[in-house]
């Protein structure tokens, strides 16, 4: 069974600075997808970024980028130029295409003005 | 597109009462997922349906929980009788799923915050 581990329950970052959230996963699959979801205080789950395992190039969406290390089974999220609106819970998730998403426990990010 | 719709947004009930949570998936989506989120356990998948058929209900905590999907546009999650430890946020998500192929982005509803006193 696939597992997703987020080792940082809480993180904080100064506004305009950069922060990296960690995620590791375990799978025997070779083709899969990885996601980062954001959950602000409104509770809404918002897809931030996704990465296809067969692509070596790291995904980027504006200020959000990932560092995908397939051999190490690592999938970290980097947020550049952090903004107050980035404060939220962030969940890493794994999708093999054959089973539903498997989520990590989440990292609560605080942004300090 | 209205997105995934859940009702009610908040529910407060007393222990022993029946609770029914409702979900309307995005039109055209063929998979529906029920999740429970708590501080202690994080986001847990309870059950998911594909083409209205329950595929995996291994995450349903016990017999007090049941879920139905009578048609492609409606699903319910029922707890009977409810207990204080059922207090959580319950999310419904839907996707246009073809298992075994490309990824299937899940779209989440706003969640129902359930409090059982």
Shortest CB distance from B42 goes to which of A98, A100, A105?
A105
How far lies B58's CA from each of A106, B14, B34, B61, B85, in Å?
A: 22, 26, 12, 8, 19
Find out whether A92 and A35 touch, Cβ atoms under 8 Å. Answer: yes
Please give the average per-residue pLDDT across A5-21, as a whole number.
97
Task: Report pLDDT for A96.
Answer: 81
pLDDT above 60: residue B101: no
How far lies A6's CA from each of A3, A47, A74, in Å?
A: 10, 17, 10
At residue B45, the 3 state secondary structure works out as strand
Neighbours of B5 (CB within 10 A): 15
Q: Please, what is the average pLDDT of chain B? A: 91
The reply to whether omega before A18 is within 30° of 0 (cis) is no
Provide, rounded to the nearest whole percent, the portion of chain B with pLDDT above 90.
77
Mind listing the pLDDT tens digit for each residue in B29-76? 999 999 999 988 889 999 999 999 999 898 898 899 999 999 999 999
pLDDT above 60: residue A2: yes
At A85, give phi and psi (nearest 5°).
Answer: -70, -10
Mind listing the pLDDT tens digit for each residue in A16-72? 999 999 999 999 888 889 999 999 998 899 999 999 998 889 999 999 999 999 999
- CB < 8 Å to A91, chain B: 43
Residue of A nearest to B5 (CA): A44
Mind listing the pLDDT tens digit for each residue in B76-93? 999 999 999 999 999 999
Least confident of A58-62, B2-6, B102-106: B102-106
Task: Report pLDDT for A29.
Answer: 86
**Contact assignment for A100 to B48 by CB distance below 8 Å:** yes
**A64/B contact by beta carbon, under 8 A:** no
Residue of B nearest to A53 (CA): B103
Residues A68, A53: Cα–Cα separation, whole Å: 8
């Amino acid at each position: 069974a696939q597992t997703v581990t987020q080792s940082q329950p809480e993180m904080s970052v100064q506004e305009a600075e950069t922060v990296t959230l960690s995620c590791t996963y375990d799978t025997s699959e070779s083709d899969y997808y990885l996601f980062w979801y954001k959950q602000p205080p409104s509770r809404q789950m918002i897809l931030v970024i996704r990465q296809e395992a067969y692509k070596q190039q790291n995904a980027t969406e504006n200020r959000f980028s990932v560092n995908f290390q397939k051999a190490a089974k690592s999938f970290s999220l980097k947020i550049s130029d952090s903004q107050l609106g980035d404060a939220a819970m962030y969940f890493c998730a794994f999708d093999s295409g054959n089973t539903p998403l498997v989520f990590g426990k989440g990292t609560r990010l605080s942004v300090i003005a | 597109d209205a997105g995934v719709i859940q009702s009610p947004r908040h529910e407060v009930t007393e222990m022993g009462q029946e609770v029914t949570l409702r979900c309307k998936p995005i039109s055209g989506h063929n998979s529906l997922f029920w999740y429970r989120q708590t501080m202690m356990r994080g986001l847990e998948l309870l059950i998911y349906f594909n083409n209205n058929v329950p595929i995996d209900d291994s995450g349903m905590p016990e017999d007090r929980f049941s879920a139905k999907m009578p048609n492609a546009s409606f699903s319910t999650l029922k707890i009977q009788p409810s207990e204080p430890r059922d207090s959580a946020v319950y999310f419904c998500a839907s996707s246009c799923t073809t298992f075994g192929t490309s990824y299937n982005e899940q779209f989440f509803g706003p969640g129902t915050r359930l409090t059982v006193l």
